[in-house]
Amino acid sequence: MIDLYSRKIDYIRVSLTDRCNMRCVYCMPEYGIEKMCHSDVLSYEDMYKLLKTLNRAGIKKVKITGGEPFVRRDAIKFIEKLKSDSSFEKVTVTTNGMLLDKYVDELIKMKIDGINISLDSLKEDRYKKLTRGADLKVVLKNIKYILESGYGNLKINTVLMDGINSDEILDFATLVRGNKISLRFIELMPIGEARDFIPVSREQVLKTLISEFGELKPINKNLGNGPAEYITFKNFKGNIGFIDAVNHKFCRDCNRIRMDSRGNIKFCLQYDIGIGTEDYLSGKISEDEFLKKLNMRICDKPLENNFSSESVGKFTMNQIGG
């Protein structure tokens, strides 16, 4: 699938559910968020049908997200089904890590291509405040277990917020220094609750890292499906990546689309541009008709985001999978 700007679209992020066992301050409001009815959520059968159809259109890499994917019953079975399907080159999962102890052995056994854990503080009291109640010790225990198992593609996703957790840059870097982990500092995007916080720039992070660890070493190879740019330092076992969609746009190389748990396909995180799947799933149109429609509509995928000056659609990050 090729868009209007000759970008090859081969990667999809799939939200299994909008529900989560956390309510992180930049992701969800503390109260009053409308939860999707179970009857509105696509069955796994329909999700698989859509992904197999999208595979025909060129989608080869799948990222499973939420909300928190593992709060949905039988998520692990669905992930295993995708992973056992050789038509998908890579299947990865993003999680907050709280429930991983129940599923990590199965993920490793199926040779999942990547496990990403969202982690925004290494301080227990702060973590509890940021997540509105979660237990940091549980997540760190699960990370330790994954590392001790010898699993080789663990990533930590950290969203820095000025004056909130920006004093932990070196703490996170030290975690990577002694462990084979890819740490990614993800720039806060002005979506939903995140508008209430101030992002931390790549330049600020690099200044802090270089002052402590000395000269950086760029890593000139792709370490995943996404747009992260990686560096490391002398005597580091792991590496540090940056995903900053606002101040270091990577839109010209964007290879992704997204699907929410209702089955809506979204072409860009910022804009309400995409395609519904109801007609196809209900049998009103054939697979070939759906694919024709999709290939025509992919030309609506914008060249780039404009977060710095335009608003975004009215959604919270848990609804679309980050």
| CA proximity to 170, closest of 85, 223, 236 | 236
Asked if residue 4 belongs to a domain, the reply is no
Residue 235 lies in a domain: yes
3 falls within a domain: no
Q: Is residue 206 in a domain?
A: yes
Please confirm whether the linkage preceding 67 is cis (ω < 30° from 0).
yes
Based on the structure, what is the number of domains in the chain? 1
Check which CATH number belongs to the domain holding 264 and give it: 3.20.20.70
- Calculate ∠ Cα 238-242-247, nearest 5°: 165
- The pLDDT value recorded for residue 97 is 97
Distance from C-alpha of 289 to C-alpha of 272, rounded to nearest angstrom: 22
- Residue 244 placed within a domain: yes
Q: Is residue 5 part of a domain?
A: no
Instruction: Name the helix (H) or strand (E) containing 184.
Output: strand 182-186
- The CB density around residue 153, as the number of other CB atoms within 10 Å, is 18
The per-residue pLDDT for 195 is 83
58, burial (CB in 10 Å: exposed 0-12, middle 13-18, buried 19+): middle
- Which domain does 292 fall in, by range? 11-319
* Whole-number pLDDT of residue 315: 54
Evaluate if pTM is beyond 0.85.
Answer: yes
Q: Which residues of the chain have pLDDT under 70?
A: 32-36, 222, 307-322
Answer yes or no: is 1 within a domain: no
- Does a structural domain hold residue 199? yes
